[in-house]
Amino acid sequence: MSASHPRTLARVDYLGLCAATRDLVEANGGYEAAGACTRVSFQRLANYATNSDPSFMPVDIVADLERKSGEPCVTRRLARLAGYLLVKLPEGGERDDVWTRHLSELATLCADLMRDIAAALADNGVVDRGDLQRLPLRDDIAVLQQYLAAIDRLIADIERSDEDTEGRPQRVRAMEAPQ
């Protein structure tokens, strides 16, 4: 850390960004393939992914590569560093209304997660690495987030819907439940 250019994050956080950059390049088929779909050469991409180079990948290149791969490797890491969680928005679709199914699944998954956390706490009063290896807590949380995002999408669709010819709000069709 230079006195003239102080950094606000810990070194491990910057190393994590380098790792996320490597993951993003790998998700695009490697350095040469990734270099072919953005504005910099594969050699420059390799520099962005090294721990010794003080420069990081520019956001437009991150956007190009994340769009192409469908994997928000760097954005996910940046969100976590900022204290946020990145959740993929569900895609809309013309399906029957699934509000009840979404809410039922959400309640069931919440109950399962709470049961697993309670079981982990019952051992020794803390959730430890052994509990995380034994219980699918992260997976449960990810599925819950998808259901919450699906419900949020339903609400947004209702807010955007036009009124029908008699002045009543149109019925908004829900998307398929998260997989």
Tokens at residue 106, please?
């959400």
Query: In this predicted model, what pLDDT tens digit does every residue of 75-97 receive, in sequence order?
Result: 999 999 998 888 777 665 544 45
What CA–CA distance (Å, rounded) separates 110 from 49?
A: 38
Task: Write down the pLDDT at residue 44.
Answer: 92
Query: What gap in Å lies between CA 49 and CA 47, rounded to an integer?
Result: 5
Comparing C-alpha atoms, which of 65, 11, 5, 14 is closest to residue 40? 65
Domain boundaries, the chain: 11-81, 90-179
The predicted structure's pLDDT at residue 156 = 76
What is the per-residue pLDDT for 162? 55
Distance CA 163, CA 13 (A): 49
Confidence (pLDDT) at 164: 47
Residue 144's φ and ψ, nearest 5 degrees, are -60, -45
Only one residue has tokens 């982990």, namely: 120
Tokens of 77: 């890491």
Ranges of residues in the chain whose predicted pLDDT is under 50: 1-2, 94-96, 163-165, 172-175
